[in-house]
């Protein structure tokens, strides 16, 4: 939101799926959001040049572009076709001054796990330097095995981070979906290891354990520890975009307009809590403590 939250808050075109981009941007501005995540199928209907013009007129930037990948052939494309599609998506992101392109590895596609991993590793090593040269980061998004049956073999944060570190390219990072992993014990225990790789955080709520038929609720409508995890990420140094992207029956029943109002209310509340936390930290700071118990004198 515009200068009102400790970090940039973006909304997603997947949340307002039936709106066209001009209407989405109008409501983004109305509700104080200055960033939006674009979905490639909708963008293709709008056209990149026209979308860029609309974004500039509205003063709204693009937080991320969704998505590219599927390097294992599970969606029917060849490896070379997936590479070409990803390169096209990188070029689109560059044209829109979009810093992040979300990447899905794809499912096993009949391959052994080791071969599927090799295919993805090869693709990322080829594409990440091109993305970096274009000012774009590829953000690998793991798909929890309980989220979509057969949706991907890259099913945990550990696996994604391991692959990112193995590829070791500056143009590659992690997309962290708190809807999938906010209650994952490794999120807290492994935060120091993976935080340096996080380039995008996605936020939606749910009730109870993750399963395939769950919808993405607006934050605060479920029981995930979203505020605690966001606070931990910020305190640990995360400075990227936070995309709030509820999708499902609750959003349709509530309506897009009221959903954006709820997102804005949640973001404002998180901002207030962040300010209180910063104030408490500042109040507890002293020159003596900061100097390790000794203060030099002139």
In sequence order, what DSSP letters do the residues of 210-253 get, joined into one string? --TT--BBPTTSS---HHHHHHHHHHTT--S-EEE--BSHHHHH
The yes-or-no verdict on residue 289 having pLDDT over 60 is no
**Helix or strand or coil: residue 139?**
strand
In a domain, 69, yes or no: yes
Position with higher pLDDT, 278 vs 151: 151
Q: How far apart are CA 33 and CA 25, in angstroms?
A: 9
Q: How far apart are CA 237 and CA 279, in angstroms?
A: 17
Contact status, residue 113 vs residue 156, Cβ threshold 8 Å: no
Q: Which residues lie closer than 8 Å to 264 by C-beta, 6 or more apart?
A: 1, 31, 32, 33
Q: How far apart are CA 298 and CA 294, in angstroms?
A: 13
What mean pLDDT comes out for the span 145-170? Answer: 87
pLDDT tens-place string over residues 164-179: 999 999 999 999 999 9
The yes-or-no verdict on residue 281 having pLDDT over 80 is no
In a domain, 296, yes or no: no
In a domain, 298, yes or no: no
Locate 41 and state its tokens: 């199928």
Contact status, residue 86 vs residue 106, Cβ threshold 8 Å: no
Number of domains, the chain: 1
What mean pLDDT comes out for the span 117-133? Answer: 98
Instruction: Give the pLDDT confidence score for residue 275 in this predicted structure.
Output: 59
Domain that holds residue 128: 9-290
pLDDT tens-place string over residues 68-94: 999 998 788 999 999 999 999 999 999
Instruction: Give the pLDDT confidence score for residue 285 in this predicted structure.
Output: 43
pLDDT-based confidence at residue 148 (cuts at 50, 70, 90): confident
The yes-or-no verdict on residue 48 having pLDDT over 50 is yes
pLDDT tens-place string over residues 4-33: 444 689 999 999 999 999 999 999 999 999
In a domain, 216, yes or no: yes
User: How buried is 20 (Cβ within 10 angstroms: 0-12 exposed, 13-18 middle, 19+ buried)?
Assistant: middle
pLDDT tens-place string over residues 189-247: 878 788 999 999 999 999 999 988 899 999 999 999 999 999 999 999 999 999 999 99
In a domain, 122, yes or no: yes
Q: How far apart are CA 38 and CA 30, in angstroms?
A: 18
Instruction: Give the pLDDT confidence score for residue 1 in this predicted structure.
Output: 47
Q: How far apart are CA 136 and CA 94, in angstroms?
A: 7
pLDDT-based confidence at residue 35 (cuts at 50, 70, 90): very high
Instruction: Give the pLDDT confidence score for residue 202 in this predicted structure.
Output: 99
In a domain, 120, yes or no: yes
Bond preceding residue 67 cis, omega within 30 of 0: yes
CATH number of domain containing 280: 3.20.20.150
Residue 150, H or E segment:
none
In a domain, 245, yes or no: yes
Instruction: Give the pLDDT confidence score for residue 294 in this predicted structure.
Output: 43
Closest CA to 124 of 72, 195, 172: 172
pLDDT tens-place string over residues 91-114: 999 999 999 999 999 887 778 889
pTM metric for this prediction:
0.90
Q: How far apart are CA 104 and CA 31, in angstroms?
A: 31
What mean pLDDT comes out for the span 56-78? Answer: 95
The yes-or-no verdict on residue 296 having pLDDT over 80 is no
In a domain, 4, yes or no: no
The yes-or-no verdict on residue 185 having pLDDT over 50 is yes
The yes-or-no verdict on residue 287 having pLDDT over 60 is no
Closest CA to 5 of 166, 230, 224: 230
User: How buried is 2 (Cβ within 10 angstroms: 0-12 exposed, 13-18 middle, 19+ buried)?
Assistant: middle
């Amino acid at each position: 939101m515009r200068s009102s939250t400790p970090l940039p808050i973006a909304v997603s075109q997947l949340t307002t799926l039936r709106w066209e981009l001009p209407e989405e941007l109008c409501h983004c501005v109305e509700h104080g959001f200055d960033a939006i995540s674009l979905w490639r199928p909708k963008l293709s209907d709008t056209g990149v040049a026209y979308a860029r013009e609309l974004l500039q007129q509205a003063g709204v930037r693009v937080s991320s572009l969704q998505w590219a990948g599927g390097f294992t052939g599970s969606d029917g494309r060849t490896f070379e076709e997936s590479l070409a599609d990803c390169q096209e998506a990188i070029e689109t992101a560059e044209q829109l001054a979009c810093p992040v392109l979300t990447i899905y590895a794809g499912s096993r596609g009949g391959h052994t796990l080791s071969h599927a991993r090799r295919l993805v590793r090869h693709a990322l090593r080829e594409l990440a330097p091109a993305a970096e040269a274009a000012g774009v980061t590829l953000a690998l998004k793991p798909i929890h095995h309980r989220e979509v049956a057969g949706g991907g073999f890259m099913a945990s944060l550990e696996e994604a981070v391991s692959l990112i570190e193995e590829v070791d390219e500056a143009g590659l990072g992690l997309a962290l979906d708190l809807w999938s992993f906010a209650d994952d014990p490794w999120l807290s225990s492994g935060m120091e290891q993976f935080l340096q790789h996080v380039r995008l955080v996605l936020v939606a709520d749910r009730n109870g354990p993750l399963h395939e038929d769950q919808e993405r609720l607006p934050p605060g409508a479920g029981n995930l520890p979203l505020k605690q995890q966001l606070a931990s990420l910020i305190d640990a140094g995360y400075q990227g975009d936070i995309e709030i992207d509820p999708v499902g029956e609750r959003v349709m029943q509530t309506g897009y307009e009221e959903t954006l109002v709820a997102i804005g209310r949640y973001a404002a509340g998180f901002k207030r809590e962040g300010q209180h936390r910063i104030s408490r930290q500042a109040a507890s700071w002293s020159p003596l403590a900061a100097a390790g118990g000794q203060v030099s004198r002139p």
